[in-house]
Amino acid sequence: MSIDKHRVPRLRGAAQPGSQRGDALRKGLLAAGALSSLSYVLATDGLAASRWEGYRRTEQMVSELFAVGSPGRDVLVPFTWLYTLLFTAFGVGVWMSARGNRALRIGGGLLIGYGLWNIMGGLYPLTLGDDASVPMHIVATNVQLALMVAAMCFVAVGFHGRMRVYSFVSLAVSAVMGMVAFMAAPGPNLVLGIGERISIWAFMIWVAVLAVALWKRPPA
């Protein structure tokens, strides 16, 4: 029985070069999510807050650092574009990781929307000492919060076991502490500053954990 040298059988499970490149891209996009969380904390409570003499991280809102008139705004305006790019890339990475999981794919799409909506937040910032800037800022923030909540719900449904439980717990912590901080506004007070940061950090950590969970998926 002769063997046709031009028809070499393809081994099952063998990763093809194209799939390897695609998986490397997917992992790179997921890594952007963890990087976005780390850079957000360093840019806001790290660099921007240090430029504002007398700013109290435990009592004042993070939004104040982005506000017109804030000493740290010149740092955070370019950072907003970087964060938007990193987070949107992460959303694309989640989308690519879905592989037939409809809930996870919808969650990825919502995360892309969340990332892109940062542009609207930049267009409607707070202005220190000007209450007229508050309504539109609240509208822009609430739309982004709705995208965040919906994304976390769909991603949670797309998983089973510990990741699903962790996603719903993170969502509950972020939502509850966000409402607590909102009721404590305008501050400054400990409930506002600490509550808002717990709400933000719960989401930031969830993004990093999700990136790790999807990173471990084998190549398609």
Question: What are the counts of helices (DSSP H) followed by strands (DSSP E) for the chain?
Answer: 8, 0
pLDDT level of residue 220 (50, 70, 90 thresholds) = low
Write down how long the chain is.
220
Which pTM was predicted?
A: 0.86
DSSP code at position 14: P
Q: Which two tokens stand for residue 148?
A: 């965040």
Mean pLDDT over 182-199 rounds to 89
Residue 149 has pLDDT above 60, yes or no: yes
pLDDT band per the 50, 70, 90 thresholds, residue 162: very high
CA distance 17 to 40: 35
Task: Give 63's pLDDT tier (boundaries 50, 70, 90).
Answer: confident
pLDDT at 108: 96
What is d(CA 211, CA 120) in angstroms, rounded to the nearest whole number?
A: 25
How much is the average pLDDT of 126-134? 83
Q: How confident is the model at residue 174 (pLDDT cuts 50, 70, 90)?
A: very high
- Given a cut of 90, whether residue 10 has pLDDT beyond it is no
**Is the CB of residue 52 less than 8 Å from the CB of residue 74?**
no
Name residues whose C-beta falls within 8 Å of residue 147's C-beta, 6 or more positions apart in sequence: 110, 111, 113, 114, 117
- Across the chain, mean pLDDT equals 87
Distance (Å, rounded) from C-alpha 216 to C-alpha 30?
11
Who has greater pLDDT, 3 or 26? 26
Euclidean distance between CA atoms 146 and 151, whole angstroms: 8
Cis peptide before 188 (omega within 30 of 0): yes
**Residue extents of the structural domains in the chain:** 21-215
Confidence band, pLDDT 50/70/90 cuts, at residue 122: confident
| Four-residue CA torsion sign, 148, 73, 61, 58 | positive
Name the helix (H) or strand (E) containing 197: helix 190-215
Integer Cα distance of 82 and 65 in angstroms: 16
Residues 157 and 171: their CA atoms lie apart, in Å, by 13
Q: Is the pLDDT of residue 208 over 90?
A: yes
Rounded CA separation 121/84 (Å): 11
Q: What is the pLDDT of residues 13-26, one digit of tens each?
A: 444 655 788 889 99
> 60, 70 in Cβ contact below 8 A?
no
